[in-house]
Amino acid sequence: MSAGSLQNFFEPQGVVVVGARRSFGFGYGIPLFLQKQGWGNRLYLVNSAGGQVHGQNVYKRVRDVSSPVDLAIVIVPAEAVPGVMEEIGERGIRSVIIETAGFAEIGKRGMALQERVKAIAMQYRMRVIGPNCVGVVNTENKFCSVELIEESLAPGPLSIIAQSGVFGNILLDHLPQYGLSISKAVTLGNRLDVDESDVLDYLDRDPMTQVIMMYLEGATNGRRLMQSLAHVTQKKPVLILKSGRTEAGKRATASHTGSMSGEDNIYRAAFAQAGAIRAESLSQLIDLARVFATQPLLKGNRLGIITTSGSLGALATDVAVSSGLTVPPLSSFMVTQAREISPNWMNVKNPLDTGPSGIYGKLLPMLLADPGIDMVLAIMVIPYVAVRHFKSVGMTARDWFGDIASIRERYPDKPLLGVVVGHPAFVEDITSLCGRSMPIFTSPELAAQALATLWSYSKTRKKSGDRRSDIS
């Protein structure tokens, strides 16, 4: 089947929820959530017990639903799934999300059950997401096969592919605090049918998706995954966090979503070859998502650093330079301009240590405008005792560092990250001063590393762009 057939999962005409019920659980929560999101008139509930749930009539069998339906969400106990799948197949529904757990991930018996379900799916030519998952999220039409908090439903540029339901959920909970929003999310579970490559191909063509985050335990088909990745990364960055790097880690994933993780070094090389970006930790995955979702691609690798702390500037320089960036001298025009307004003790160079000069807000735009600089790291630290003094005489972070959010807007073509460490109240002041289109880090090294990764991907895109123009 073509990947295009995933459309029903994200934009169904009508949805059957098999296993709707009146007591607490997915069968209770999902129908209620879909009603609240405006899907009540395209939602049909099924439970062999019949009755009513959330004021809607409950059909006893799938075949009793006469309205147009093209997607089924299955939440019945594992043993009941084969029977329900037969009903769904007979009713002519070709897209199914099986959320129920208790299949391949629990061992032999579950594996056999999963094989039975797979045979039924093939017989009826159904596409299946799951089992052992929470299915899909589409923030544009608010169609979700999982309950979410309101903050997670704002549409945005990020899409998520995760094998584990909890993993997808916690990313959706975690990202809004940075102002990051999601377009689509899919949790794949045991991947009886639909796998990460199918979803990548779908997201490749999804106009709302700009950046893809992926949590993978192992590929169902390594060769196909690399093909899909190589294709999509020419248009959209794909950030991958993969577990199962060690034998012990592999054993942990096997009992979790029944995945075989494969040799880690093969994945590492293949991801690099396909232009995908591998995150080394969950926090790095999130850091990179924050940068890729908000910053433009890089045209070169020349980093300008402006800082109130020489130490933090040096730490950032070390990591930048060892990761493929340069921290070049400032252009002579910039130096002349900066010297005019700088006190004598200030060394006008890169990194630009402004110390307590108070002209940070004037120097930052100069640095962004410097034609010899492709991106800027702005390190903002002041001892809190000084911050308190300034506050007591009515000065704010803006007086000290400038109106950073608008400076950022004036130079949209150059990536700009911030670093702030110190008292939580100061960190909060600076975070709000910088606005939502400038990711703030608490470690200069991690910020420099993220910029180096952005450069590394920008190069890949540049190359594939060159190739495309060679062909045309």
Q: Counting contacts by CB under 8 A, is residue 267 touching its own copies?
A: no
Restricting to residues 171-190, name those near its own copies by CB under 8 A. 172-174, 177
Which DSSP category does 302 fall into?
A: B
Q: Counting contacts by CB under 8 A, is residue 378 touching its own copies?
A: no
Measure CA 300 to chain center.
25
Cβ at position 141, least distance to its own copies in Å: 19
**Could you tell me the two tokens for 6?**
């995933």
Q: Counting contacts by CB under 8 A, is residue 63 touching its own copies?
A: no
Provide the H-helix boundaries in 342-383.
360-369
The residue type at 306: I
CB nearer its own copies, residue 78 or residue 192 = 78
Q: Which stretch binds its own copies (CB under 8 A): 50-58, 116-124, 404-412, 417-425?
A: 417-425
Restricting to residues 192-221, name those near its own copies by CB under 8 A. 215, 217
Cβ at position 463, least distance to its own copies in Å: 26
Q: How many residues does the chain have?
A: 472
Tell me how far apart the alpha carbons of residues 470 and 350 are, in angstroms, rounded to a whole number.
37
Task: Please classify residue 382 by burial: count the beta carbons closer than 10 Å to its beta carbon, then call 0-12 exposed, 13-18 middle and 19+ buried.
Answer: buried
- Dihedrals φ, ψ of 429, to 5°? -55, -50
Q: Counting contacts by CB under 8 A, is residue 252 touching its own copies?
A: yes
Q: Counting contacts by CB under 8 A, is residue 345 touching its own copies?
A: yes
Tell me how far apart the alpha carbons of residues 422 and 110 are, in angstroms, rounded to a whole number.
51
Tell me how far apart the alpha carbons of residues 115 and 134 are, in angstroms, rounded to a whole number.
20
Q: 């109130």: which residue's tokens? A: 308
The residue type at 343: P
Among 383, 399, 412, 413, binds its own copies (CB under 8 A): 383
Q: How many residues bind its own copies (CB under 8 A)?
A: 78
Tell me how far apart the alpha carbons of residues 325 and 319 are, in angstroms, rounded to a whole number.
9
Among 81, 148, 194, 211, binds its own copies (CB under 8 A): 148
Q: Which stretch binds its own copies (CB under 8 A): 14-22, 52-60, 82-90, 436-444?
A: 436-444
Among 139, 145, 169, 453, binds its own copies (CB under 8 A): 169
The residue type at 236: K
Restricting to residues 387-406, name those near its own copies by CB under 8 A. 388-389
Question: In sequence order, which residues have a C-beta less than 8 Å from that of residue 1 and are 6 or more positions away?
Answer: 125, 127
Q: Which stretch binds its own copies (CB under 8 A): 90-98, 269-277, 280-288, 463-471?
A: 280-288
Q: Which stretch binds its own copies (CB under 8 A): 54-62, 198-206, 382-390, 463-471?
A: 382-390
